[in-house]
Structure 1
Amino acid sequence: MHAVIMAGGRGVRLRPYTTTLPKPLMPIGERHAILDIVLGQLACRGFTSVMLAINHLGPLIRAFVGDGSRWGLSVRYVEETAPLSTAGPLFTIKDDLPEHFLVMNGDLLTDLDYADLLAGHQVCGAALTIATAAQTTRCEFGVLDVAEGRVIGFTEKPTYRHRVSMGVYGMSRKALEPYPPGLSMGFDRLVQDMLRQGSFPNSYEFDGVWLDIGRPEEYDEANRRFAELEATLLPARGAVAA
């Protein structure tokens, strides 16, 4: 099984932390970097090869990960010469990818079963599977229902339940075929293109641990919670394989 990890972002929202460290190498707990945890999880789930898309402070990621043998993985790199956003690096390497593969951001922590996601993607028939998490958003205003200039309903500070993308995907190579190498494009536009074409992605619904470490407060929260989540995020290799 093959995974592509997007690790080339500049981490602008996480400054000043990311001035000297790329976001995937930010420390979590006392002994681990985010990328260390992710690579260990992939190895535990049976993945054998990983492609790391790097740009910002890429040499530091190369120095930390090396060839991946520390995790029992074979790791290769694709280095952006210009920013290609979250989906663009895939267009450059599409001829080197297997028919089905995992794609994920390098700045998240989750106990999602990556192997189960990829296996489900392979049998669903969709070109793309999006791992989705349930989120609740509270509106801090009174919300009005208005029809023909009249207020016909009022809800004080309602909450909305919806599913959001976790930044983890099962993907088939056919999803990349229309796009030329070197094109800068995000996953948002890729999904919008697929919807316009009637190629609807599959949803892999997940309700476990998911920490998206994009902002300083989220990073601080991940560190506060790591002691209680360590056993979940770092399962024993033998236990997972069983």
Structure 2
Amino acid sequence: MRAVIMAGGKGTRLKEMTRNEIPKPMVKILGKPILEYQIDVLKENGLKDIIIVIGYLGYKIKQYFKDGKDFGVNITYIEENEPLGTAGAFYYIKDYIKEDFILLFGDIIFDVYLKKMIDFHNMKNSYATLFVHPNSHPYDSDIILMDVDNKIIGFDSKNNIRTYSYDNCVNAGIYIISSNLIQKIDELKKLDLEKDILSKEINEENIFGYYSSEYVKDVGTVERIKKTSKDLQKNILKSKNLKNKQKCIFLDRDGTINIHKGLIVNPDDIELEKNVAEAVQKINSSEYITVVITNQPQVARGLCSIEDVENINKRLKTILGEKGAYVEDIYYCPHHPDKGYPEENKKYKIKCKCRKPSIELIEKAVLKYNIDLENSWFIGDTTIDIQTGVNAGMKTILLNTGEAGKDGKYDVVSDYICNDILEAVNIIIK
């Protein structure tokens, strides 16, 4: 599989760094151009045949990388005489590529286990696969809408006014594109990949989102470059690569993240506990990922539906996103073993293996995110949460929020007791 890098950007927002003397992909982070970081990751993933689409001051890129041999790769250049958007250059690329290929935008820093994404693309027989993930600013990002099978069913532009709660799921700027797609480009003109091509194909072709917790950051502003510099120095990029075992902070939901109000059946009842946004931001900036594990027996009780729980979780993600924080995933159990409620939903009134303190949901997260449980933590407000963490072989922290351990279901002792989630996160990270 070959790789294509769209490196024609001028970098208007980086003018103080480019000084109109270099194109955006040649901006240096810790003394090394953005484009060189990308080439290094591609090479590490065995992708050494690279096409670079150049435009503004493109000769600077050619002067630096030449044919790529000094960097252990083979580089071919395609030059845009005028800006063609994110997909107009496909008109040229189709003459070079006859099979599926990796596509990158030239303003991202990333460290991704691309083999796993390629395997997903092939398994789904996908027409186009987008690398998607949560970020700290979904409110000003284009949102990707997917079904339960990760098939993309829509795009919600950042320019739209959102009056609904949504999944924090955005396009990261890494794609696997079918050669069949680029063969359809029969005219040289400016094209936007998402708006002009993918959004028009989602009803006709299988287009999927590959969801991952790995590090991919748009470094199109000075502030983001400063943040990425710190992350590189702390080795966070490498640690988040899914080839490596991940450290995770598992969180309970009700009473830990949001204020405990009994069985929540309405998204409007979600209200964050104190210091939660700051705590989750700290996790997001660390080597840890964040996964929520929660029992939601109101489905079995007949008080709400699976769709209602999904909407409640979307509301939680939306509120966190508005405050610059995100969780990688939310797993929930809708079951309850005790029967006898007049309105109960018998389909979910069963003894299951996913209800805490059983660890089936944790095991699912381990499989998806390659989590090292021995170096992970579980934070919650009940003895059920602490017992769950113990059962999974993790360290645990009991909070004095929510039920504050007064549920008394299990005779278990946590490693720490903290007043709130921020105190707990500080203990873990420091």
Q: 1:65 to 1:119 in 2, by over 3 A?
A: farther
Query: What corresponds to 1:191 in structure 2?
Result: 198
Check the 8 A contact 1:133/1:206 in 2, yes or no.
yes
Structure 1 position 120, deviation (Å): 2.5
TM-score when normalising by structure 2: 0.47
Once superposed, what is the RMSD of the aligned Cα atoms? 2.4
Structure 1 position 178, deviation (Å): 2.2
CA offsets, 1:50-69, max 9 Å, x none? Answer: 00000011000001111111
SS at 1:3 equivalent: strand
Check the 8 A contact 2:110/2:237 in 1, yes or no.
no
Unaligned segments of structure 1, at least 5 residues: 140-157, 236-242
* 1:221 aligned onto 2:222: no
Question: Which of 1 and 2 has higher RCO (CA within 8 Å, sep 6+)?
Answer: 1
SS at 1:5 equivalent: strand
Query: What corresponds to 1:25 in structure 2?
Result: 26
Structure 1 position 33, deviation (Å): 1.4
Equivalent residue letter for 1:107: D
SS at 1:95 equivalent: coil
Which one has a bigger Cα radius of gyration?
Answer: 2
Equivalent residue letter for 1:38: Q
Aligned counterparts of 2:182 and 2:44: Cα–Cα separation in 1: 28
Aligned counterparts of 1:118 and 1:89: Cα–Cα separation in 2: 23
Once the two structures are overlaid, the 10-residue window that deviates more, 167-176 or 87-96, is 87-96
Aligned counterparts of 1:64 and 1:230: Cα–Cα separation in 2: 27
Unaligned segments of structure 2, at least 5 residues: 140-163, 242-430
* Sequence identity (%): 25
Structure 1 position 136, deviation (Å): 4.8
Aligned counterparts of 1:37 and 1:54: Cα–Cα separation in 2: 17
CA offsets, 1:177-230, max 9 Å, x none? Answer: 2222412101122211112x4224111111121221011211221123321137
* 1:165 aligned onto 2:171: yes
Q: 1:200 to 1:28 in 2, by over 3 A?
A: same
Aligned counterparts of 1:230 and 1:70: Cα–Cα separation in 2: 27
Q: 1:66 to 1:199 in 2, by over 3 A?
A: same
Check the 8 A contact 2:2/2:47 in 1, yes or no.
yes
SS at 1:162 equivalent: coil
Q: How does 1:54-133 map to 2 (within 5 A)?
A: 54-133=54-133
Structure 1 position 159, deviation (Å): 8.1
Aligned counterparts of 1:81 and 1:131: Cα–Cα separation in 2: 29
Structure 1 position 90, deviation (Å): 1.5
Q: How many residues in Structure 1 have an aligned counterpart in Structure 2? A: 216
Check the 8 A contact 2:48/2:73 in 1, yes or no.
yes
Query: What corresponds to 1:206 in structure 2?
Result: 212
Equivalent residue letter for 1:209: Y
Query: What corresponds to 1:142 in structure 2?
Result: none
TM-score when normalising by structure 1: 0.81
Aligned counterparts of 2:209 and 2:4: Cα–Cα separation in 1: 19
Structure 1 position 35, deviation (Å): 1.1
Structure 1 position 135, deviation (Å): 2.6
Higher strand share: 1
